[in-house]
Structure 1
Amino acid sequence: MSEAPVVVPAPPGPVVPGGTEDRAPRRTLVALVVTELLLSFALATPLVATLSLKVNEIAPGERTSVLSLVAAVGAVAAFLLNPVFGHLSDRTAGRFGRRRPWIIGGLLAGLPAAVVMATATTTVQLTIGWLLAQAAYNAALAALSAVIADRVPPGRQATASGLFGAAGFAGVVPGLVLVGMLPGRTVLLFLLPAGAAAVGGVLAWYLLRGEPPLDPAEREPVSVRSVFTSLTFDPRTSPAFTIVWGQRFLLQFANSLIGALGLYFFMARLGMSTAEAAALLSVTGLFSLAGNVVSAAVCGRLASRTGAYRAFIIGSGLLLTLSMLLKMTASSVWPVYVASALAGIGLGAFYAVDLALVIRVMPHSADSARYLGVFNIAKSLPQSIAPALAPLLLALGSDPVVRSGDGNYFALYAAGALAALVATALTPLIRHPRLTRD
């Protein structure tokens, strides 16, 4: 029988020498926001466009299957490597601290990975390049997320979480702009985002200076067993963490379930051509993105002031549920616009608060990067599961709203609404001594 880990309250962020407790988080927040923005830019641009463009060059006759293979390998690498790198970061001893070496190392390593992808002439080379990029950027992301737990005082963690989430959403925008400015310039579309991320690593190294090194006497050894253990947690000893993990999984599952099929939904339900559906997808995507960024920034700040994390979780879950119910019954354009805006606001609010919430309920603060890595699995794993389940839901009879014969989108969105509603209903079960204000 294993011994339950001792729950240690998260320590306040250390004070940077020469500054005050109030000033130290401000510099930390700048590092978090700018670095996450540039990291997201480097990760999102291939997903948005450049992998598709490169696959079209390498294997135009098999582009769908090849792109699915490359994306699947990257997704598996992301959800496996993030907690592993977090585990290694937690146990890194040296005068530069636990987080900074992994942040700058990961962001600099993304540049040669981008070169491999930019110069790829075969599917194998492109897959290896994307695998290396996922490994590099997840090493940086695991350490960067833990900075909030390590160095931001508890009263400001929701603000940091909100700004961090907003930066992650906003990182998609430079990629979209770059693709529009440099159509067909695949090499530059790979290298410029990776170069920007490398600059972000250098900036983070400078702004996050003053991180106290891990005391070698407190450093737990790294072993093969400990690495494999870093991918799991015991729900019995951390029920609050388990529930928050489940909520993120369900909401991301709902979002992923319908995200990849938006183009086909517009064509089937609204009778649009491919070009019309693509244009509407772009507009609604901007609606959703704007809601993500604004909601994440605003709700993170409000949650810091009120401490009502669970109230924001409930609100975001209900907004996502309502969004899916609107799309479930939509047969015209305007409900789609409203649903996209609601989904953007709801998802932004959720990702603004859930990181700060999970920091509160983590079983062991000394393993913050490891547990945040496990928490990130709840975001990446549904991106692999949902696309496989979507065709089964579409095959459940005919769509009662528009009988187009292209699949039952009513069932698809109903499943998404159910997942979001279940996630919302779990919120009252989150109980923890450090959650006292809602």
Structure 2
Amino acid sequence: MTDSFSSSDAGSVPDPLPLAEVPDTLVPGEHEAFQAPTKSFSLGAQMFLALANIAFFITIYPTGGILIPAQVVALDSRNKVISLGLLSTFAALASVLGNPIAGALSDRTTWKLGRRRSWMLIGTCTGAIALLILANASSLPMLIVGAAIGQFFGSALLAGLSAVIPDRVPERQRGTASAIVSLAIPLSIILGAVLVSSVLKLTRNTIASAYYAIIVILVVIIGLYVATMHEQPLPRHVVPPFKPGAFLAAFWINPRTYPDFSYAWLTRFLVILGYSVGVGYLNYYLRDVIKYTQHYPGHTIEEAAATLQIISALFLIIATIIFGILSDRLQRRKIFVMLASGIIALGLLPLALVHTWIMVEIAAAIIGFGFGAYLGVDIALVTQVLPRPQDRGKDLGLINIASAIPGLLAPGFGALVISLFAFDTILGYNILFIVATAIVLLGAVLVQPIKGVR
């Protein structure tokens, strides 16, 4: 595996794939790939990048929010909360490991196809395999394996896509570019929900068919993006020799040396954790507290979940565009991230106080608006505090861990709280949403110490 990436000195065994030829005197760090981008990133390029991100996220949201919970109920109805928590924990752990590793390997890749495009293809192929496993899962262990493989190797695709903004977009455009790319999340939620609902109706609830449709979308869109994306291969002479010890040590970013990066990591972790704790169990909240199917006979929990995803996504789209453009216009990031976090908290708290379907719909709209505002600006903020241009992929992988670890902690935490209050299910959910609100607010407060970004 080492030979596939930049390795070594003169006289070493040549790489199996053709590499860019450059003078031996080229100094690491001076290559154009490591320079701050100055050329404008066109609107068309931003929209195509957003489309590629939609293809990725459509493998995440409708599967994790609709298909997998339904499969868990079918396989283990009595222990659905614990089983879903176990599956989500393994999947999140795979993502935590995969994100920085894929990012770091992407930074070092010297294949002729390019460092980012190569890993987009790897992630697409392995992601399609994982979706096939999920589509045909006949047991909970098989479902867990499919989800874990998808998260681990899907990180390769995410690593390539995430690095495009710091690699190609100048800082003056990053608020708008981040907003447009962030639209991939709500659009994937809307399109994914519509796609899954339509396929399930057409195939009489054949879950495998929904997975197959998602695979087609993933392969076609990412294939087109990779085929049309222009990327210069990274010469091996500009990358240090691969040394396992140094490779592993690079994953540690000293908070004292890079405090802004550390605060950016911590605030994202807290905001996403609070959001995940609150939203992660909405599916079962509808079953256990709202009693949705009792109040609305003939309708399913999956339909209700899809409705909430669409409501949230619509408001997310509005907020993402508004906050992203305003952030670029004013060249300010921190105030918008703090405000967005506060809006998320404002949407979570009512779920602990009022238990009606109408309130859940209102909360979904508020949370969606807050999360959209957050996504539209936080990505821009993060790309402006990355420690070293040579390590953009790895450092973004570390930032992505701040989004992935909540997925590891939130299901177990939620399951623990609900189980501790098994004698009063409603109380358990109330405490869950109150704690989620407090966590998000703490994340908002910790944005303020960041000094290098306004």
- State the TM-score, normalizing by the size of structure 1: 0.84
Change (3 A) 1:67 1:226: farther
| Distance change >3 Å, CA 301–CA 203, structure 1 → 2 | farther
Deviating more after overlay: 356-365 vs 261-270: 261-270
Comparing 313-322 with 138-147, which one deviates more in the overlay?
313-322
Between 198-207 and 84-93, report the one with greater CA deviation. 198-207
Query: Residues 346-391 of structure 1: CA distance to partner in whole angstroms, max 9, x if unpaired?
Result: 1111111111111101111210111111111111111221232235
Letter in structure 2 aligned against 1:381: I
Counterpart selection for 1:245 from 265, 268, 274: 265
Asked if structure 1 preserves the Cα contact closer than 8 Å seen for 2:91 and 2:408, the reply is no
Partner of 1:18 in structure 2?
Answer: none
Select between 221-230 and 29-38 the one with higher mean Cα deviation. 221-230
Report matched runs for 1:139-154 at 5 Å. Answer: 139-154=156-171
2:188: which partner in 1? Answer: 171
Counterpart residue number, 1:35: 52
Q: Tell me, in whole angstroms, the C-alpha distance in 2 between the residues paired with 1:31 and 1:237.
A: 36
1:189 lines up with 2:189 in the alignment: no
**Within 2, Cα distance between the matches of 1:172 and 1:409?**
24
* 2:402 pairs with 1:375: no
The one-letter code matched in structure 2 to 1:93 is: T
Q: Does 1:198 align with 2:219?
A: yes
Shift of 1:122: 4.5
Is the alpha carbon distance of 1:223 and 1:127 closer, same or farther for their aligned partners in structure 2, counting shifts above 3 Å?
Answer: farther
The aligned residue for residue 131 of structure 2 is: 114
CA contact (8 A) 1:291 1:348 kept: yes
Alignment partner for residue 331 of structure 2, among 298, 307, 324?
A: 307
Superposed displacement of residue 231, structure 1: 4.3
SS where residue 99 of structure 1 aligns? helix
Trace 1:308-323 onto structure 2 (pairs within 5 A).
Answer: 308-323=332-347
Q: Deviations over 1:37-79 (max 9, x none)?
A: 0111122232133334555666677666554443332211111
Report SS of the residue matched to 2:60.
helix
Q: Using the alignment, how far apart are the partners of 1:141 and 1:222 within structure 2?
A: 23
271-280 vs 283-292, which moves further: 271-280
SS state at 1:81 partner: helix
**How far apart are the structure 1 equivalents of 2:91 and 2:365?**
29
Query: What CA distance in whole angstroms lies between the structure 1 residues aligned with 2:278 and 2:421?
Result: 18
Q: Report the secondary structure of 2:448's partner residue.
A: helix
1:17 is aligned to: none
> 2:234: which partner in 1?
214
- For structure 2, list consecutive stretches of 5 or more residues without a partner in the other structure: 1-28
Moved more, 217-226 or 413-422: 217-226
Residue aligning to 1:257:
277
Give the structure 1 partner of residue 14 of structure 2.
Answer: none
Q: 1:306 to 1:80 in 2, by over 3 A?
A: same
Opposite residue 175 of structure 1, the aligned amino acid is G
Give the conservation status (yes or no) of the 8 Å contact 2:193–2:306.
no
Pick which of 252-261 and 24-33 moved more.
24-33
Give the CA deviation at 1:427. Answer: 2.0
- CA RMSD after TM alignment: 3.1
Seq. identity, %: 25
Could you say if the C-alpha distance between residues 226 and 201 of structure 1 is closer, same or farther in structure 2, counting changes exceeding 3 Å? farther
1:121, distance to aligned residue in structure 2 (A): 4.0
Residue 356 to residue 163, structure 1, CA distance change in 2 (3 Å): same
